[in-house]
Amino acid sequence: MTKRNYLLLFILTIGVFGILNTEMGVIGLLPSIADHFHVSISKAGWLVSFFALTIAVSGPTMPLLFSGINRKKVMLLVLGVFVVGNIVSIFTSNFTILLIARIIPALFHPIYCSLAFTVASCSVSKEEAPKAVSKVFIGVSAGMVAGVPIASFIDSAFSYDMAMAFFAIVNIIVFIATLIFIPSMPVQERISYGAQLAILKKPIIWLSILTVILLNSAVFGIYSYLTEYLKTVTNMTPTTTSLTLFIFGGANIIGNFVAGKLLTHSPNKSILFFPLLLVAVYITLFFTGKYTVSMVIITFIWGILAGGIMANINQYLIVSSAPEAPDFSNGLFISSCNIGTTLGAACGGIFISEVGIQSVVLVGILSLLLSLVTILLRNYLLNPVQQLSR
């Protein structure tokens, strides 16, 4: 790859970090948000679930609508919307306004992430495309998990307002870098809306979507309440909680590199055994989550599996099912992930309200067992003998 390509991939990676950080970073702030706005922890969780639900709705449509416009202009538009939303979130004292300031950027979220994957793959040769996409995925994973402990640390060390300002600063930096360093990128060959929508006729797409929803639900049904779990069940101090969340984020980055190798050499076996390994982790978590040392070790292993590896598996599942429509399939991937996040967060909240915080682990186990069924059906559609032998 040329220096220009490396710079482009770096900006895209930081860009998706800023976008995903805005979405997921508030997870580490939910207790402070509940106190700051005088709402329950479950209501504060709306900031996660409503954001994800909005992305789930806009994921398939917004990338499709903007697929024919100059990609640099679209990126600047999305980043600008996020900057404004971040700034409003810092200064508002009204929970409803805070919710609206998150929902509006969420509409544009799928556009940037979908473009980032497409631009990354198109910026290099076909052989190098998976490596380019995996580099951008580091930003996705970092935004989804590293942003949580960073925001949590800033919140505990300084203030809630400073933690919210962190989201704005990252997006402002990416906006400036995009404006200065990324060249104009007009669309060379536009794929018709009809040709892109035609992939929805394929049964394997729907099985892949369902699998991604279940896998994401299995992770974020628990992760959305991890800060509260560490505080209530493990009895960790705020500092130790932040450190544990950092460990999860670091493990997530490691998982990206592991996933790249697994999906290159044995994708279908890796996908098949993934839910089984994560079930084993969750069972261990259920019985030993109250012990600090055990929880830290489990968090590290969980981070490798549930962060980097799962994210790459999810994208592979959908995009490999419809390579003829990359923008739309990436939009479907983003939408499916966020439906799973919404479903998981909602189910996790119900389990916590009805049974208690420790029971939230059961949401993950149930989702994983269901995902195993859809994975087996997907493999059968591909080719039961050839695919399972890989």
What domains are there in the chain, each with its CATH number?
3-388 (1.20.1250.20)
Residue 85 has pLDDT above 60, yes or no: yes
Tokens at residue 120, please?
């990354």
At 209-219, the pLDDT tens digits run 999 999 999 99
Q: Are 375 and 384 in contact (CB under 8 A)?
A: no
At 278-292, the pLDDT tens digits run 999 999 999 998 999
Residue of higher predicted confidence among 380 and 295: 295
Phi, psi of 135 (to 5 degrees): -65, -40
pLDDT of residue 2: 67
Residue 99 has pLDDT above 60, yes or no: yes
pLDDT of residue 4: 75
At 308-327, the pLDDT tens digits run 789 889 988 998 888 778 77
How much is the pTM? Answer: 0.76
Tokens at residue 90, please?
């810092």
What is the Cα–Cα distance from 239 to 245, expressed in whole angstroms? 10
What is the Cα–Cα distance from 307 to 249, expressed in whole angstroms? 8
Mean pLDDT of the chain: 86
What is the Cα–Cα distance from 169 to 23, expressed in whole angstroms? 15
